[in-house]
Amino acid sequence: MQIRNGQMIEIVYMDKSGNISQRKIEVLGIRDGRIRAHCLAAGAPRVFIVANILAWQRVEEKRYA
């Protein structure tokens, strides 16, 4: 599975201080080992270092009938 632009994913991320958080992000771009994304938790753009993403999964859209 590959992370792509425009994709909504949920990540487990470790920041430079070693703090671990779980976030839902919309991927805006991937380059040079970094993901530029809109973070739903922060409500703002963020940059995540790919090497610090401990786990990720695609967020499925809920469809209602």
Domains of the chain in start order, with CATH, are 8-58 (2.30.30)
Return d(Cα 58, Cα 65) in angstroms, integer. 22
CA distances from 26 to 18, 38, 41, 48, 58 (A): 23, 5, 11, 12, 10
Question: Residue 12's pLDDT is what?
Answer: 98
Q: What is the pTM (predicted TM-score) of this model?
A: 0.85
Question: Residue 32's pLDDT is what?
Answer: 97
Question: Residue 60's pLDDT is what?
Answer: 82
Q: Which of 20, 29, 64 is nearest to 47 (CA)?
A: 29
Q: What is the mean pLDDT of each run of 10 residues along the chain (65 residues)?
A: 91 97 97 97 96 95 66
